[in-house]
Amino acid sequence: MTSFSSQILAGIDFAADLFRQSKYAVVLTGAGLSTPSGIPDFRSTGTGLWSHDEPMEVASLSTFRTAPEKFYEWFRPLASQIFNARPNPAHNALADLEKAGRVHSIITQNIDILHQKAGSQSVIEMHGTLRTLTCTQCYHQVQSAAYLAPFVEKGEIPHCPVCAQVLKPDVILFGEQLPQNAWFNAQREARQCDLILVAGSSLEVLPVAGLPMQALDRGAHLVIINNTPTYLNVRADVVILEDVSVIIPAIVEKVLHG
């Protein structure tokens, strides 16, 4: 049993009360939700992926078009971590909250499919997904499962079964627009909700970082759980700067079982 300070216990209780009172709660998750599952985030000082690599050189659409092998060389370790990752207690708790009817949808900046693996049904993927790959030439789409294993294990770059051109993971690279339907649905959820939980996101990447503000402007409550502060901490009802994989299950336990 985890021991919490009185301040954190008060925050957990308050957040649980907000969920119990809510009629339309949504969740916004970022890379920090998946770091307990062994997937590195992008911006943490020293450990984030962009501490070691220049994103425009390895993870841009222009790089993929001109030198896909350079992208795949960079992507292979991350793909391996995602391929082998399993949902952590935060993913599982959010899935339980949705199943109980306490969460309407999860808006995620993550591409790792861990929300779905945990059992969440209503997931809006803002930065795409590693679930599928699409041909850059004929646009044939395939499920990634059969291609990821040989890529992770042997470095085999996936090629289209129809025209043999390179397949691109359906993730949003630098220089690409957000998926239109996902952005429309995320804005709708932010504007309709009466409570938004931000979990594992530093709220630094626009335009997704602006979604909680859209909710606040329409009178919604805001709960933030993250390791580091965000620009909206001053507007939040509850801020808990601790491990999401510990705090979220504690909140959900209070919501569902008192």
SS (H, E, C) the chain: CCCCCHHHHHHHHHHHHHHHHCCCEEEEECHHHCHHHCCCCCCCCCCCHHHCCCHHHHCEHHHHHHCHHHHHHHHHHHHHHHHHCCCCHHHHHHHHHHHCCCCCEEEECCCCCHHHHHCCCCEEECCEEEEEEEECCCCCEEECHHHHHHHHHHCCCCECCCCCCEEEEEECCECCCCCHHHHHHHHHHHHHCCEEEEECCCCCCCCHHHHHHHHHHCCCEEEEECCCCCCCHHHCCEEECCCHHHHHHHHHHHHHHC
pLDDT digits (tens, 9 = 90+) for 37-81: 999 875 444 444 544 656 667 788 999 999 999 999 989 988 899
Q: Measured between alpha carbons, how far is 24 from 90 in angstroms, rounded to an integer?
A: 20
pLDDT at 52: 60
Q: Which entry of 91, 115, 127, 221 is annotated as an active-site residue?
A: 127
- pLDDT tens sequence across 244-254: 999 999 999 99
Q: What pLDDT is recorded for position 51?
A: 44
Give me the mean pLDDT over the 104-125 stretch. 97
Condensed to tens digits (0 to 9), the pLDDT of residues 209-222 reads: 999 999 999 999 99
What local confidence, expressed as pLDDT, does residue 59 receive?
80
The per-residue pLDDT for range 178-231, each reduced to its tens digit, is: 999 999 999 999 999 999 999 999 999 889 999 999 999 999 999 999 999 999
Helices 68-84 + 145-154 axis angle, to 10 = 100
- Greater confidence (56 vs 234) lies with 234
| Residue 102 pLDDT exceeds 70 | yes
Percent of the chain surpassing pLDDT 70: 93
CB 24 within 8 A of CB 194: yes
Per-residue model confidence (pLDDT) at position 49: 52
> Residue 44: its pLDDT value, please?
46
Q: Is 104 a catalytic residue?
A: no
Q: How high does pLDDT run on average in the chain?
A: 92
Q: What is the pLDDT of residues 120-138, one digit of tens each?
A: 999 999 999 999 999 999 9
Output the pLDDT for position 40: 84
Percentage of the chain modeled with pLDDT above 90: 82
Q: Tell me: pLDDT of 234 over 60.
A: yes
| Structural domains present in the chain | 7-39+87-127+177-258 (3.40.50.1220), 48-84+130-171 (3.30.1600.10)
Within 10 angstroms of residue 209's Cβ, the number of other Cβ atoms is 19
Mean pLDDT (whole number) for 160-166? 97
Question: What global pTM score does this model have?
Answer: 0.91
